Amino acid sequence: MINLMKLIVGLWNPGDKYLNTRHNIWFVTIDQFVKSNQIGDFSYDNKYGWEIISPLNPPFEWGLSSVSEKVVFLKPMEYMNKSGAAVQKIMNFYKIEANDLLVIHDDIDLATGVVKMKEWWWLAGHNGLKDIAEKIWTKDFSRIRIWVDRPSYPPQDVADYVLWNLKKDEIDTIQDRYLDIDRMVLEFISI
* Residues with active-site annotation: 23
Q: Are strands 2-10 and 67-76 parallel, antiparallel or unpaired?
A: parallel
Alpha helix locations (H) across the chain?
25-36, 84-94, 127-136, 158-161, 168-190
Closest CA to 18 of 8, 28, 29: 28
Residues 6+ positions from 129 with CB-CB distance below 8 Å: 11, 103, 105, 123, 139, 143
Give the separation between CA 95 and CA 112, rounded to whole angstroms: 37
CA triplet 136, 73, 75: central angle to 5 degrees?
75
Give the separation between CA 72 and CA 56, rounded to whole angstroms: 9
The amino acid present at 88, given as its one-letter code, is: Q
Three-state SS for 99?
helix
